[in-house]
Structure 1
């Protein structure tokens, strides 16, 4: 007799606990599933204007009608405006299943991110919530993100070597202090 109380799934050759809710999130998230890309949509809420790092390649002061990547926006929304947008999108486009926050700055460096997540989660708990972050403030934010059911988090990692990172980042700001050069890269990678 097989014990059905503990199922596993094979992911990249490893056995992991099977979680049907997480599988639903993966299967309905257009960023993580090729099939979902053609069946489901996502809506990004540009509620996070401030950034706690400055990447040498990043320019957030303009947008373009042909630019639709996270981090680029024509207007930063308040959390309330973000909720209004979600209401409209879900009503007009019921195939949208994912609400994401990816900027235009660093979501975790903006209290508006958490307010937007709270508002959307309270009204639309069935939607998949996701977030893109540079990861600097992730350890101290993870419990609050879990409270709002943010189940998909993307961490941008531009370097694994501080010698390369110091060439990519002009500065990193953490706990009110600005770091430069190798020290900045080491902090971000720690």
Structure 2
């Protein structure tokens, strides 16, 4: 009986050694696979970011949940549960704000991708609604190639299938426009 147990132990040990020696993955292969994973560099909940230029606050971003990813191919911040960005003029007044249910900030390009119920409001009351919007901070542009609905400060509604604007929403270019525009005839008053 003792010999049978020794034989079984020997078979188990030999099988284990054979399995280890038969592995084809080298340590370098395992390291290269694991280094490509998108492990967060940092993360947080209920966070606020302040972006400054020469000690002046330019933007503040608020997020329910935040992760930062840094790999050889990508460097971005992701706001999977959405958030809000408020931009400021040089004098510190609010220039506008954008809210979305999802946002991604490509750090090196200074490009924001905003998705799902995106609402941008300018300081003078113009509102842009869309499902996808990009904000290129380097160029000072916001744009989308998807359906967009714009409500101006007077309540007029315009719709289109894409738009481009400066990031202050002063010069909006809407393509394939539909909507109702009401003109006030002052000569009848």
Please report the TM-score for the alignment, with normalisation by the length of structure 2: 0.20
Structure with greater strand percent: 2
1 or 2 for the larger relative contact order (CA 8 Å, sep ≥6)? Answer: 1
Larger Rg: 2
